[in-house]
Amino acid sequence: MIEHRNDAITTARPHGRLDYLSASDFKEELLGAVEAGWPRLVVDLSAVEFVDSSGLGALIGGLKAARAAGGDRRLAAVPEQARVVLSLTTLDRMFRSYASVEEAVAGN
């Protein structure tokens, strides 16, 4: 899921459901990237069909860890249901979202 692109940015591309069954593994991957010295991460959500509150909690945990390490998290290609979840929790204002991974990597 995690791909190290260059010295600055890493991308993660989870797929399927980000829910109570998969959230803790996903969060571990996000935290692992920070611990490995890659705090700037783009999460490509194009293959995620459903996000629930547990998946959202994992994204939040990842964002907190990234910011504490001086990095950030960006979201790319956010599908409709994930967009709904971010909007309902007002987190769409906190997670910067881009239409594609390329735009997220380039956006500075």
CB of 42 to another protein, least distance (A): 18
Cα separation, 19 vs 33, whole angstroms: 20
CA distance to 20, 49, 75, 102, 106, per residue, from 60 (Å): 14, 18, 12, 22, 22
Cα separation, 49 vs 32, whole angstroms: 24
Binders of another protein in range 9-68 (CB under 8 A): 19-20, 50, 52-54, 56-58, 60-61, 63-64, 67-68
CB of 80 to another protein, least distance (A): 5
Q: Which residues bind another protein (CB under 8 A)?
A: 19-20, 50, 52-54, 56-58, 60-61, 63-64, 67-68, 80-81, 83-85, 88-91, 93-94
